[in-house]
Amino acid sequence: MLDVRFIREHPEVVQEAARKKHLDFDVQQLLEVDARRRQLLARVEQLKALRNKMSKEIPALQGEAREEAIARMRQVAAESKALEESLREVEAQFTELMLHVPNIPDPDVPEGTSDADNVVVRTWGEIPQFDFPLRDHVELGELLDIIDIPRAVKMAGSRTYFLKNAGVLLELAVLQFALHHMVRKGFTPLIVPHLVRDEAMIGTAYFPVGKEQAYRIPEDKLNLIGTSEVPITAYHADEILREDELPKYYVGISSCYRREAGTYGKDTRGLFRIHQFQKVEQVVLCVNDPEVSAREHEHIVRNAEEILQALRLPYRVVLVCGAELGLPQVKKYDIETWMPSRQAYGETHSASKFHDFQARRLKLRYRDKSGALRFVHTLNNTVIASPRILIPLLELNQRPDGSVAIPEVLQPYMGGMQEIVPP
RNA sequence: GGAGAGAUGGCCGAGUGGUCGAAGGCGGUUGAUUCGAAAUCAACUGUGCCCUUGUGGCACCGGGGGUUCGAAUCCCUCUCUCUCCGCCA
Q: How many Å apart are A55 CA and B74 C1'?
A: 18
Distance CA A23, CA A422 (A): 49
Query: Nearest residue to B46 (CA, C1')?
Result: A373
Nearest nucleic acid nucleotide to A35, CA to C1' distance: B50
- Scanning residues 108 through 147 of protein chain A, those with a beta carbon under 7 Å from any atom of strand B turn out to be none
Beta strands in A226-266 (DSSP E): 240-242, 248-257
DSSP 8-state assignment for residue A212: G
Tens-place pLDDT, residues A74-90: 777 777 777 887 888 88
Is A122 catalytic? The answer is no
Nearest nucleic acid nucleotide to A76, CA to C1' distance: B69
Cβ of residue A42 near strand B, that is under 7 Å? yes
Q: Which residues of A231-260 are buried (b: 16+ CB within 10 A; e: fewer)?
A: bbbbbbbeeebeeeebbbbbbbbbebbbbe
Q: Which of A1, A30, A6, A20 is nearest to A320 (CA)?
A: A20
Which H/E stretch holds residue A189? strand A188-191
Tens-place pLDDT, residues A196-251: 888 889 999 999 898 899 998 887 788 899 999 999 999 888 888 888 888 999 99
Q: Residue A355: which pLDDT band, with cuts at 50, 70 and 90?
A: very high
Is A347 catalytic? The answer is yes
Is A399 catalytic? The answer is no
* A398 neighbors A379 (Cβ within 8 angstroms): no
All structural domains of chain A: 4-98 (1.10.287.40), 115-420 (3.30.930.10)
Q: Of residues A80, A350, A352, A386, which has the active-site annotation? A: A350
What per-residue confidence (pLDDT) applies to A70?
Answer: 79
User: ipTM value of the model?
Assistant: 0.81
| Residues of chain A above pLDDT 70, percent | 99
Question: Mean pLDDT, to the nearest integer, of A150-177?
Answer: 96
Rounded to 5 degrees, φ, ψ at A296 are -65, -30
The dihedral built from the CA positions of residue A353, A359, A365 and A368, taken in this order, carries a sign that is positive
Nearest nucleic acid nucleotide to A221, CA to C1' distance: B79
Distance CA A185, CA A249 (A): 9
**Residue A169, pLDDT above cutoff 90:** yes
What per-residue confidence (pLDDT) applies to A65?
Answer: 74
Cβ of residue A74 near strand B, that is under 7 Å? yes
Distance CA A351, CA A304 (A): 9
Is A316 catalytic? The answer is no
What per-residue confidence (pLDDT) applies to A381?
Answer: 98
What per-residue confidence (pLDDT) applies to A87?
Answer: 83
Tens-place pLDDT, residues A180-209: 999 999 999 999 989 888 888 999 999 989
Is A388 catalytic? The answer is yes
- Scanning residues 141 through 200 of protein chain A, those with a beta carbon under 7 Å from any atom of strand B turn out to be none
Question: Mean pLDDT, to the nearest integer, of A141-153?
Answer: 97
Which H/E stretch holds residue A86? helix A63-98
Among the listed ranges A139-143, A213-217, A385-389, which one has the minimum average pLDDT value? Answer: A213-217
Cβ of residue A55 near strand B, that is under 7 Å? yes
Q: Residue A100: which pLDDT band, with cuts at 50, 70 and 90?
A: very high
Mean pLDDT of chain A: 92
Tens-place pLDDT, residues A22-60: 999 999 999 999 999 888 888 888 888 888 888 777 766
Q: Which of A365, A363, A350 is nearest to A320 (CA)?
A: A350
Nucleotides, chain B, CB distance < 7 Å: 10, 18-19, 47-52, 57-59, 65-66, 68-70, 80
Question: Mean pLDDT, to the nearest integer, of A288-306?
Answer: 97
Query: Nearest residue to B19 (CA, C1')?
Result: A56
Distance CA A286, CA A241 (A): 11
Q: Residue A268: which pLDDT band, with cuts at 50, 70 and 90?
A: confident
Amino acid at residue number A55: S
What per-residue confidence (pLDDT) applies to A20?
Answer: 97
Q: Of residues A37, A135, A159, A258, which has the active-site annotation? A: A258
A395-403's contacts with Cβ under 8 Å and 24+ in sequence apart are A395/A134, A395/A135, A395/A136, A395/A137, A395/A140, A395/A339, A395/A340, A395/A341, A396/A128, A396/A313, A396/A314, A396/A338, A396/A340, A398/A134, A398/A135, A398/A140, A400/A132, A402/A135, A402/A140, A402/A143, A402/A144, A403/A144
Residues near A421 by Cβ (< 8 Å), separated by ≥ 6? Answer: A144, A401, A403
Give burial (CB, 10 Å; 0-12/13-18/19+) of A182. Answer: buried
Q: Residue A421: which pLDDT band, with cuts at 50, 70 and 90?
A: very high
Distance CA A272, CA A173 (A): 19
Among the listed ranges A10-14, A45-49, A161-165, A385-389, which one has the minimum average pLDDT value? Answer: A45-49
Q: Which of A404, A378, A379 is nearest to A390 (CA)?
A: A404
Q: How many Å apart are A190 CA and B73 C1'?
A: 42
